Amino acid sequence: MNALNGKIALVTGGTSGIGLAAATTLAAQGARVFITGRRQAELDAAVVQIGERATGIRADVAKLDELDAVYAQISKQAGKLDILFANAGGGDMLPLGAITEEHVDRIFGTNVRGMLFTVQKALPLLVDNASVILTGSTAGIQGTPGFSVYSASKAAVRNFARSWALDLKDRGIRVNVVSPGPVRTPGLGGLVPEDQRQGLFDALAAQVPLGRLGEPEEIGKVVAFLASDAASFINAAELFVDGGMAQI
Protein backbone atom coordinates (compact mmCIF):
# COMPACT_ATOMS: atom_id res chain seq x y z
CA MET A 1 0.00 0.00 0.00
CA ASN A 2 1.54 3.28 -1.19
CA ALA A 3 -1.15 5.81 -0.30
CA LEU A 4 1.47 8.45 0.43
CA ASN A 5 3.67 8.14 -2.65
CA GLY A 6 5.28 11.48 -3.50
CA LYS A 7 4.41 13.02 -0.13
CA ILE A 8 6.98 14.79 2.04
CA ALA A 9 6.51 14.42 5.80
CA LEU A 10 8.13 15.80 8.92
CA VAL A 11 7.83 13.97 12.23
CA THR A 12 9.23 15.81 15.23
CA GLY A 13 10.34 13.64 18.11
CA GLY A 14 10.75 10.79 15.66
CA THR A 15 13.49 8.76 17.32
CA SER A 16 11.44 6.52 19.60
CA GLY A 17 7.97 5.50 20.68
CA ILE A 18 5.00 6.95 18.81
CA GLY A 19 7.10 9.28 16.66
CA LEU A 20 9.32 6.48 15.41
CA ALA A 21 6.35 4.21 14.76
CA ALA A 22 4.54 6.94 12.84
CA ALA A 23 7.60 7.80 10.76
CA THR A 24 8.09 4.12 9.94
CA THR A 25 4.48 3.75 8.83
CA LEU A 26 4.53 6.94 6.74
CA ALA A 27 7.69 5.74 4.98
CA ALA A 28 6.22 2.27 4.42
CA GLN A 29 3.26 3.93 2.68
CA GLY A 30 5.53 5.79 0.31
CA ALA A 31 6.31 9.12 1.95
CA ARG A 32 9.75 10.65 2.22
CA VAL A 33 10.12 11.32 5.93
CA PHE A 34 12.25 13.81 7.80
CA ILE A 35 12.53 13.17 11.53
CA THR A 36 13.94 15.27 14.34
CA GLY A 37 15.48 14.26 17.64
CA ARG A 38 17.73 15.84 20.24
CA ARG A 39 20.32 13.06 20.49
CA GLN A 40 22.40 12.20 17.45
CA ALA A 41 22.99 8.53 18.26
CA GLU A 42 19.27 7.85 18.67
CA LEU A 43 18.53 9.86 15.54
CA ASP A 44 20.99 7.83 13.49
CA ALA A 45 19.56 4.55 14.80
CA ALA A 46 16.01 5.65 13.96
CA VAL A 47 16.97 6.53 10.39
CA VAL A 48 18.48 3.08 9.93
CA GLN A 49 15.32 1.47 11.32
CA ILE A 50 12.95 3.49 9.12
CA GLY A 51 14.97 2.90 5.98
CA GLU A 52 16.05 4.70 2.85
CA ARG A 53 13.12 7.12 2.78
CA ALA A 54 14.18 8.70 6.10
CA THR A 55 16.39 11.71 6.81
CA GLY A 56 17.34 12.71 10.35
CA ILE A 57 17.86 16.28 11.53
CA ARG A 58 19.17 16.88 15.04
CA ALA A 59 17.02 19.57 16.66
CA ASP A 60 15.23 20.57 19.83
CA VAL A 61 11.83 22.05 18.91
CA ALA A 62 11.94 24.28 21.97
CA LYS A 63 14.85 26.17 20.35
CA LEU A 64 13.58 28.34 17.54
CA ASP A 65 16.91 28.68 15.75
CA GLU A 66 17.10 24.90 15.52
CA LEU A 67 13.57 24.79 14.09
CA ASP A 68 14.65 27.33 11.48
CA ALA A 69 17.52 25.03 10.53
CA VAL A 70 15.12 22.08 10.20
CA TYR A 71 12.92 23.90 7.74
CA ALA A 72 15.88 25.31 5.84
CA GLN A 73 17.13 21.77 5.25
CA ILE A 74 13.71 20.48 4.20
CA SER A 75 13.29 23.44 1.85
CA LYS A 76 16.64 22.73 0.23
CA GLN A 77 16.21 18.96 -0.05
CA ALA A 78 12.48 18.59 -0.73
CA GLY A 79 10.99 22.03 -1.38
CA LYS A 80 7.66 21.37 0.30
CA LEU A 81 5.78 19.62 3.09
CA ASP A 82 2.59 17.63 2.64
CA ILE A 83 2.43 16.15 6.14
CA LEU A 84 3.50 17.56 9.50
CA PHE A 85 3.27 15.36 12.57
CA ALA A 86 4.11 17.72 15.45
CA ASN A 87 4.82 15.01 17.96
CA ALA A 88 7.83 16.13 20.03
CA GLY A 89 6.93 16.48 23.68
CA GLY A 90 6.81 14.78 27.00
CA GLY A 91 6.46 15.32 30.69
CA ASP A 92 7.00 13.95 34.15
CA MET A 93 5.02 13.79 37.34
CA LEU A 94 5.01 16.24 40.24
CA PRO A 95 2.18 16.88 42.71
CA LEU A 96 0.86 20.43 43.01
CA GLY A 97 2.93 21.27 46.07
CA ALA A 98 6.19 20.26 44.38
CA ILE A 99 5.77 21.96 40.97
CA THR A 100 8.69 24.24 40.08
CA GLU A 101 9.26 26.95 37.48
CA GLU A 102 11.69 24.63 35.71
CA HIS A 103 9.04 21.89 35.50
CA VAL A 104 6.47 24.25 33.99
CA ASP A 105 8.90 25.94 31.61
CA ARG A 106 10.32 22.66 30.34
CA ILE A 107 6.99 20.96 29.66
CA PHE A 108 5.24 24.00 28.22
CA GLY A 109 8.40 24.97 26.34
CA THR A 110 8.22 21.77 24.29
CA ASN A 111 4.57 20.70 24.37
CA VAL A 112 3.02 24.14 23.81
CA ARG A 113 5.56 26.76 22.72
CA GLY A 114 7.59 24.29 20.68
CA MET A 115 4.51 22.87 18.99
CA LEU A 116 3.16 26.32 18.17
CA PHE A 117 6.35 27.40 16.43
CA THR A 118 6.82 24.00 14.79
CA VAL A 119 3.54 24.56 12.97
CA GLN A 120 3.96 28.30 12.40
CA LYS A 121 7.42 27.94 10.88
CA ALA A 122 6.20 25.13 8.62
CA LEU A 123 3.57 27.30 6.94
CA PRO A 124 5.72 28.54 4.02
CA LEU A 125 6.57 24.93 3.12
CA LEU A 126 3.14 23.37 3.67
CA VAL A 127 1.26 22.83 0.42
CA ASP A 128 -2.42 23.67 0.11
CA ASN A 129 -4.56 20.78 1.42
CA ALA A 130 -1.70 19.54 3.60
CA SER A 131 -2.32 17.55 6.76
CA VAL A 132 -1.10 18.74 10.16
CA ILE A 133 -1.36 16.27 13.02
CA LEU A 134 -0.70 17.19 16.65
CA THR A 135 0.00 14.76 19.48
CA GLY A 136 -2.46 15.17 22.30
CA SER A 137 -3.29 12.77 25.12
CA THR A 138 -6.20 11.39 27.05
CA ALA A 139 -4.55 13.29 29.94
CA GLY A 140 -5.82 16.46 28.28
CA ILE A 141 -9.40 15.63 29.26
CA GLN A 142 -8.87 13.62 32.43
CA GLY A 143 -7.51 14.39 35.86
CA THR A 144 -4.40 12.50 36.96
CA PRO A 145 -2.65 13.00 40.31
CA GLY A 146 0.76 14.58 39.90
CA PHE A 147 0.32 15.14 36.17
CA SER A 148 -1.41 18.52 36.08
CA VAL A 149 1.22 20.46 34.11
CA TYR A 150 1.50 17.82 31.41
CA SER A 151 -2.29 17.48 31.28
CA ALA A 152 -2.73 21.24 30.91
CA SER A 153 -0.20 21.31 28.07
CA LYS A 154 -2.15 18.65 26.19
CA ALA A 155 -5.42 20.52 26.74
CA ALA A 156 -3.72 23.48 25.05
CA VAL A 157 -2.80 21.27 22.09
CA ARG A 158 -6.46 20.35 21.61
CA ASN A 159 -7.42 24.00 21.46
CA PHE A 160 -4.61 24.81 19.05
CA ALA A 161 -6.26 22.47 16.53
CA ARG A 162 -9.64 24.15 16.86
CA SER A 163 -8.25 27.61 16.14
CA TRP A 164 -5.61 26.67 13.59
CA ALA A 165 -8.16 24.82 11.46
CA LEU A 166 -9.94 28.16 11.12
CA ASP A 167 -6.73 30.11 10.55
CA LEU A 168 -5.80 27.76 7.70
CA LYS A 169 -9.19 27.05 6.17
CA ASP A 170 -8.55 29.19 3.08
CA ARG A 171 -5.63 26.92 2.18
CA GLY A 172 -7.54 23.72 2.87
CA ILE A 173 -4.95 22.62 5.44
CA ARG A 174 -6.44 20.14 7.89
CA VAL A 175 -5.35 20.22 11.54
CA ASN A 176 -6.21 17.26 13.74
CA VAL A 177 -5.13 15.82 17.07
CA VAL A 178 -4.34 12.19 17.76
CA SER A 179 -4.70 11.51 21.48
CA PRO A 180 -3.26 8.22 22.68
CA GLY A 181 -4.12 6.53 25.91
CA PRO A 182 -1.41 4.60 27.77
CA VAL A 183 1.04 3.27 25.18
CA ARG A 184 4.04 1.05 25.80
CA THR A 185 6.77 3.60 25.07
CA PRO A 186 10.08 4.55 26.69
CA GLY A 187 8.45 7.78 27.82
CA LEU A 188 5.69 6.01 29.72
CA GLY A 189 8.10 3.59 31.34
CA GLY A 190 10.39 6.43 32.31
CA LEU A 191 7.77 7.98 34.58
CA VAL A 192 8.71 5.59 37.40
CA PRO A 193 11.82 3.67 38.52
CA GLU A 194 12.48 0.48 36.60
CA ASP A 195 11.39 -1.79 39.45
CA GLN A 196 7.97 -0.08 39.47
CA ARG A 197 7.45 -0.11 35.71
CA GLN A 198 5.46 -3.31 35.38
CA GLY A 199 3.21 -2.23 38.23
CA LEU A 200 2.49 1.03 36.40
CA PHE A 201 1.77 -0.79 33.15
CA ASP A 202 -0.57 -3.22 34.88
CA ALA A 203 -2.44 -0.44 36.69
CA LEU A 204 -2.92 1.54 33.49
CA ALA A 205 -3.98 -1.51 31.50
CA ALA A 206 -6.65 -2.20 34.11
CA GLN A 207 -8.20 1.21 33.31
CA VAL A 208 -8.48 0.47 29.59
CA PRO A 209 -11.67 -1.28 28.44
CA LEU A 210 -9.62 -3.47 26.10
CA GLY A 211 -7.55 -4.54 29.09
CA ARG A 212 -4.11 -3.73 27.71
CA LEU A 213 -1.71 -0.97 26.81
CA GLY A 214 -1.53 0.35 23.29
CA GLU A 215 1.47 -0.26 21.08
CA PRO A 216 3.26 2.59 19.24
CA GLU A 217 2.51 0.99 15.89
CA GLU A 218 -1.22 1.28 16.56
CA ILE A 219 -0.89 5.04 16.95
CA GLY A 220 1.38 5.25 13.93
CA LYS A 221 -1.30 3.72 11.72
CA VAL A 222 -3.82 6.35 12.83
CA VAL A 223 -1.33 9.13 12.09
CA ALA A 224 -0.85 7.71 8.59
CA PHE A 225 -4.63 7.61 8.12
CA LEU A 226 -4.99 11.26 9.14
CA ALA A 227 -2.15 12.14 6.78
CA SER A 228 -3.82 10.44 3.83
CA ASP A 229 -6.57 11.42 1.42
CA ALA A 230 -8.79 8.86 3.16
CA ALA A 231 -9.15 11.46 5.94
CA SER A 232 -9.80 14.38 3.60
CA PHE A 233 -13.00 15.45 5.40
CA ILE A 234 -11.65 15.12 8.93
CA ASN A 235 -10.62 18.47 10.37
CA ALA A 236 -10.25 20.10 13.81
CA ALA A 237 -10.96 16.70 15.35
CA GLU A 238 -9.46 14.90 18.30
CA LEU A 239 -9.15 11.21 17.54
CA PHE A 240 -8.69 9.11 20.68
CA VAL A 241 -6.60 5.98 20.25
CA ASP A 242 -6.96 4.70 23.78
CA GLY A 243 -8.80 1.38 23.82
CA GLY A 244 -11.89 3.25 25.01
CA MET A 245 -10.28 4.67 28.14
CA ALA A 246 -11.54 8.24 27.71
CA GLN A 247 -14.93 7.27 26.38
CA ILE A 248 -16.69 5.45 29.20
Give the active site residues.
150
> Residue 82: enclosing H or E segment and its boundaries?
strand 81-86
> Residue 91, Cβ neighbours under 10 Å: how many?
22
b/e burial code for range 196-216 (CB count within 10 A of at least 16 → b): eeeebbeebbeebeeeebbeb
Amino acid at 42: E
Angle between helical axes of 64-77 and 115-122 (0-180°, round to 10): 30
Residues 6+ away with beta carbon under 8 Å from 241: 178, 179, 180, 181, 214, 218, 219, 222
Q: Are 220 and 22 in contact (CB under 8 A)?
A: yes
